[in-house]
Amino acid sequence: MAFLNKYISDVFGAVRSLLKGMRLTGYYFTHRREIITQQYPDNKEQMHLPERFRGEVVMTHDANNEHACTGCTACELACPNATIKIITKFDISPEGKKKKALDTFVYHLELCTMCNLCIEACPTDAIKMAQTFEHSVTDRSQLTKKLNKPGSKIREGIE
């Protein structure tokens, strides 16, 4: 008799546990507002990436097409993947003194792991992380970027 009792209570307990799970999935089936799908390319307008999101390294330029990069190569040294290559030149100041300045800021997006170490290392806050994330291109060479805009120069008073 005890065996039969256990057998029957086993069957009922099993059925109850199965129905519990079915109740939960049934709940989600009937409640459309629980759906979490984001329809990505369609919802681009409503998407807000947080300001700290690390998408790619960019150099900030102000209205006069001036940046804050002194060409000190701190970011190049901080980068673990050799993503950044800084080419410097010597500007001749009006007083006739030679001064080291940035010529080209080469940024290899294809090598970058978005670790933020270069931004941390920059003493003049010349570079920052942008919130872009759609980086796919049809040719690998397009991933090598020149960050300083053509004709830009260093802002006055930044050493």
Partner 1 sequence: MFSIEHITHLIDAWLYGNLPPTLALLIECLIVGLAAITLFAVLGLVLVLMERKVSAHMQIRLGPNRVGPGGMFQTVADTLKLAMKEGLTPDGADKFLFNLAPYLVIVVSMMILAPVAFAKGVQLWDLNIGVLYVTAISSLSVIGILMAGWASNNKYSLLGAMRSGAQIVSYELSAGMSLISIVVLTGSLRISDIIASQQNGWWLFKGHIPAVISFAIFIIAVTAETNRAPFDLAEAESELTAGFHTEYSGMKFALFFLAEYVNIFIVCAIAATLFLGGWMPLHIGNWAGFNHVMDYIPSSIWFVGKVFSLIFLIMWFRWTFPRLRIDQLLRLEWKYLLPISMLNLLLMTLIAINGWHF
Partner 2 sequence: MIEELATTDAGEMVVNVGPQHPSTHGVLHLVITLRGETIRKVEPHLGYIHRSIEKMCESLSYRQFIYVTSRMDYLSSHINNHACALCVEKGLQVELPARAKVIRVLMDELTRLASHQLWWGAMAMDVGALTPFFHAFREREAINDIMEETCGARLTMNYMVPGGVMADLHPNFQKRVKDFIHLFRSKIDEYDELVTGNVIFRSRMEGVGRLSAADAISYGCTGPTARGSGVRCDIRKLAPYEIYDQLQFEEPLETGGDCFARYLVRMREMRQSLSIIEQLIDNIPQGDFQAKTKAVLKLPKGEFYSRVETARGEFGVYIISEGGMTPYRIKFRSPGFSNLSALDHMARGYKIGDLVAIMGTLDLVIPDIDR
Neighbouring C-beta atoms of residue 75, cutoff 10 Å = 23
User: Per rule CB under 8 A, is residue 24 in the interface with partner 1?
Assistant: yes
Which among partner 2, partner 1, none contacts residue 39 (Cβ within 5 to 8 A by kind)? Answer: partner 1
- Under rule CB under 8 A, which residues in 77-116 are in contact with partner 2? 78-80, 113-116
User: Per rule CB under 8 A, is residue 29 in the interface with partner 1?
Assistant: yes
Main-chain dihedrals φ then ψ at residue 97, nearest 5 degrees: -90, 145
User: Per rule CB under 8 A, is residue 35 in the interface with partner 1?
Assistant: yes
Which among partner 2, partner 1, none contacts residue 85 (Cβ within 5 to 8 A by kind)? Answer: none
Q: How far apart are the first and last CA of the chain?
A: 92
Task: Assess contact for 49 and 133: CB atoms under 8 A.
Answer: yes
Residue type, 149: K
The CA-atom distances, in angstroms, between 97 and each of 9, 67, 90, 131 are 95, 21, 10, 39
Q: Which stretch, 25-33, 44-52, 72-80, 109-117, contacts partner 1 (CB under 8 A)?
A: 25-33
Determine the distance from the C-alpha atom of residue 96 to the mean position of all C-alpha atoms in its chain, rounded to a whole number: 42
Task: Assess contact for 123 and 35: CB atoms under 8 A.
Answer: no
User: Per rule CB under 8 A, is residue 11 in the interface with partner 1?
Assistant: yes
Place of tokens 């960050």: 147
User: Per rule CB under 8 A, is residue 129 in the interface with partner 2?
Assistant: yes
Task: Assess contact for 125 and 103: CB atoms under 8 A.
Answer: no
Q: Which stretch, 10-18, 56-64, 98-106, 148-156, contacts partner 2 (CB under 8 A)?
A: 10-18
Which among partner 1, partner 2, none contacts residue 29 (Cβ within 5 to 8 A by kind)? Answer: partner 1
Q: Which stretch, 23-31, 65-73, 87-95, 134-142, contacts partner 2 (CB under 8 A)?
A: 23-31
